Structure 1
Amino acid sequence: MTRPHLRSKTVALSALALVAAPLAVASTPTSAAADGPRASTIAVAWQRIAIRTIFTETVPTPGPPVGALYLSFTSLAVHHAAKQGQRQGRVTASAAVATAAHDVLWEYFPASRAHLDADLATTLEGIPDGAKEDAGIAIGAAAADDMIASRVGDGRGNASIVYSQEPGPGVWQPPVGGGMALAWFGFLKPVIDVPTVTLDGPDPLGSAAYARDYNEVKRVGRDVADLADRSAEQTAIARFFAGTPVDNAVGFYRDALCRYLDAHPLGLLPTTRLFARIDAAVTTAFIQTWRLKYDVGFWRPFQAISGQYDDNNPATEPQPGWAPLIPNPAYSDYTSGHAAATAPFAEVLRQKLGDDTPLVLHMNGQERSYATLSALEHDALNARIWGGLHFRDAMDDGYYLGHTVADEVIAALR
């Protein structure tokens, strides 16, 4: 695949030989030059470019699972390029990282190509010309081509996959005149080969556990501004984490991490590995979550509490007209998609940097600071209950899924 930047550079035969070299050769320990501050800065800068390209410049804005998928394509190609280029030092690795990120985004987001070309030109202007830069460009282009080729026919946007389950107690139904959003996502080809996480499913409708969750969300999740059982702070947290199409959890977690890494640089390979693991884990959790949403199809609280169907549980009392604080998306309760965005992100970061990694989240002109990842997860989890979107079981199981996927991805992705 030929892209504009390759026409502006003469790629030396020695660079092409580097691309053809087996990956095992790249196991040489990372040199200080390859892991220098400049290379780390470039890696973070291209993560910001990816956020801008996917969530700001693309119209309509992709939903968080789709955005996470394209972030994973980018980060995995970038990390592969970094590993290939690092044995040649900072110059080669920096050019490889920028080129890999550019080429993946250039392929999937044609409306942003002019901006991406300008971004790459700016990056390469700061890298010394010569054989090492040319080698890095070739390595990055090859990594991008490999990623793009591997995703042909992966199931994206497969319109033949349509959710359909018979109405009844416990069964989620799409909005009138619509269908399940992103039904195809649960059938995607994985971005990394890890085992599927086994969960026990939603609590049975007649159980005490279901009644406890039902009554909790009924009490605290209703669309009433001055609800007695939900504090003003809890209301603010629920609305904050609801986000917007542009400012969503995937995007503002990443933005917060980029700003943290500006002040606490890790070096090139640790940076590219961190983003690759986060994105592979988040995307894997999203794929497994969407398959559960499709296969299980458990109803949302507003459908249960409305009393349209009797759940035959004497401990639950329907409330006709009950509505959630936060509008519900067009997919089912179990498990939580927000958990799939949050739990893998937090767990990968926790295992790399520790639970006491402080992050400042910015969303739609608002800001919330978290001294620990556990505190962030606490608010993000409860926000979906305070917002009336989920039963607690869908959140707890979603976090278990996300943490377990993170463990698997960390073990698999070096």
Structure 2
Amino acid sequence: MYRASKQQNPHITISRNKRSLIKILAASGFTPLLMRMLPPAHAETKADPLELVHGIIKHPWFIEVPSGHSLVAFSRPTAAAQDNTQTIQRAVHWTKQWLRLVVKYQQNPLRASRCIAHAQVAMHDAWLLAATQGASAETRELSAHRAASLVLQHLFPNETPGFFEAQYAWLAAQLPASNINQDLAEATGTRVGQAIINRSLRDGAGRTWPVRDRPKDFPGIWQAAHPIYAVNPTEPYAGEWRSWLKPSPQRYQPPTAPRPGSEQHRREALEVLNVIRNLTPKQLEVAERWNLDAGSVTPAGVWMQHAIDLLLRSQIPGDRFEASVAVLAATSVAMEDSFIACWRIKFRDWSERPITAIRRDLAPGFTTPLVTPGFPGYVSGHSTLSGATSIVLAYFWPTEAPELNAMADEAAISRLWGGIHFRSDNDEGLRVGRGIGAEVLAAL
């Protein structure tokens, strides 16, 4: 993204777009990452087209691999495998299948993010493990496809028998057979796929929540709300699921949610009431567009679709498959880990939704444009996931940082415009999410 200055200016000039990302991180308190975002000394900006800046895999997310290998020394794909669009389309094939299956089986947003994280990490780590064994680029790619096919087959057991195997065979047929070590690809992909499947069986997502675990009533505790009046909250144990990254000791922990009787709670309840009474058509359109519950691609799906679009529009030097799996793995890890952190806070505070507070204190007949979800409000899941994902994608595409930040902000404010979140739910969710995005970048 940067080129040497002809004048050898000793001062560092930072592009407006990268400066935007630095400002976001600094405002959220994530200064350890700022040095990563600075260009090298004696550098100035240039106007580049959309370019994937960071795309190299440096470490596995889950699988142990031999050390001492340099990615630079690995063989590059053949000319046939180097076509940008075809290579990236193969790299995102399983992501697109996941998008379809999330809608088909109406997964809730947490389950959807969990599934794609397991699948993308399987692809990433299988690719890397094959690479450390000196495999050709085509063998590495096929290893990744094998791992993804096995993981998704496990996570979607009701799909048509043989479907995932047929998809794997179709992808294998796209690669030049003369450059593939079939046995190595099969063994490596199976090894990684099974390891990720074993992880999924022990990540805590199978636990069933007993009603007796609900805390004793207190002012402002989450209640079953109009119109669905769900008594049991959605995925109450999700905050205890196994995360991909060990939470940083410096991770931001938001203050306790504002409670009834406080000035902040009163002010925020009034804000929601006034916003809904004066909602503009544009605000309603944004709220409905981001209303991504079960039966949609979910928030994770929207962000993964955006990542796919960025990959397809990018100039990617070197191994495009490698770059794609690196981006999608980091993005999916940020999404699931941000949801886990969000749910930990939700069930730490058990905070009520706006409709409960407003009907009790301000307007008994109050209704909202969106259906109020059946779980505590603080902090917002959309905001947390969007904050994390926007930071990760902006790392790979610094020129897109302003747009990505605006997209996350829109996702957050849409929840207030829908009448289902207080402002603090959204603001604190964004801050938590951006911190988790920073942790993912630190792991890179």
TM-score interval for Structure 1 and Structure 2 normalised by the shorter chain: 0.7 to 0.9
Aligned with 1:187 (options 214, 222, 240):
240
Aligned with 1:51 (options 91, 99, 107):
99
Q: Which residue of 2 aligns with 1:13?
A: none
Residue identity in the other structure for 2:143: A
Structure 1 Cα separation of the partners of residues 246 and 199 of structure 2: 13
Residues 300 and 385 in structure 2, CA contact (< 8 A), matched pair in contact too: yes
Q: Which residue of 2 aligns with 1:105?
A: 152
| 1:206-250: CA deviation from partner (whole Å, max 9, x where unpaired) | 4433333221111113xxxxx4x2211011111111135223221
Q: Which residue of 1 aligns with 2:265?
A: 210
Could you tell which deviates more after superposition, 154-163 or 30-39?
A: 30-39
Q: Which residue of 2 aligns with 1:348?
A: 392
| Structure 1 vs Structure 2 CA RMSD | 2.4
Give SS of 1:376's match.
Answer: helix
Q: Which residue of 2 aligns with 1:82?
A: 127
Q: Does the C-alpha gap of structure 1 residues 189 and 240 become closer, same or farther in structure 2, counting only changes over 3 Å? A: same
Structure 1 length normalisation: TM-score? 0.81
| 1:350-406: CA deviation from partner (whole Å, max 9, x where unpaired) | 11102526xxxxxxxxxxxxx811221222111100100111101011011111001
Residue identity in the other structure for 1:209: Q
Cα deviation, residue 202, structure 1: 1.5
Cα deviation, residue 154, structure 1: 2.1
Q: Does the C-alpha gap of structure 1 residues 137 and 347 become closer, same or farther in structure 2, counting only changes over 3 Å? A: same
Residue identity in the other structure for 1:343: G
Aligned with 2:174 (options 126, 133, 136):
126
Structure 1 Cα separation of the partners of residues 126 and 187 of structure 2: 9
Total equivalences in the alignment? 363
Structure 2 length normalisation: TM-score? 0.76
Give SS of 2:290's match.
Answer: helix
Aligned with 2:429 (options 386, 398, 403):
398
Q: Does the C-alpha gap of structure 1 residues 47 and 318 become closer, same or farther in structure 2, counting only changes over 3 Å? A: same
Structure 1 Cα separation of the partners of residues 428 and 172 of structure 2: 45
Q: Any stretches of 5+ residues in structure 1 without a counterpart?
A: 1-19, 222-226, 308-316, 358-370
Please show how residues 219-258 of structure 1 align to structure 2 within 5 Å.
219-221=274-276, 227=277, 229-244=278-293, 245-258=295-308
Could you tell which deviates more after superposition, 341-350 or 371-380?
A: 371-380
| 1:64-114: CA deviation from partner (whole Å, max 9, x where unpaired) | 111100111111111111112234232111101111111110112122243
Q: Any stretches of 5+ residues in structure 2 without a counterpart?
A: 1-62
Aligned with 2:216 (options 138, 145, 166):
166
Q: Does the C-alpha gap of structure 1 residues 114 and 265 become closer, same or farther in structure 2, counting only changes over 3 Å? A: farther
Residue identity in the other structure for 2:270: N
Residues 218 and 305 in structure 1, CA contact (< 8 A), matched pair in contact too: yes
Alignment pair present for 1:114 and 2:162: yes
| 1:253-286: CA deviation from partner (whole Å, max 9, x where unpaired) | 2123223322326422221121111111111111
Aligned with 1:23 (options 52, 66, 70):
66
Q: Does the C-alpha gap of structure 1 residues 43 and 331 become closer, same or farther in structure 2, counting only changes over 3 Å? A: same
Q: Which residue of 2 aligns with 1:67?
A: 112
Cα deviation, residue 129, structure 1: 2.7
Could you tell which deviates more after superposition, 246-255 or 158-167?
A: 158-167
Aligned with 1:389 (options 399, 420, 423):
420
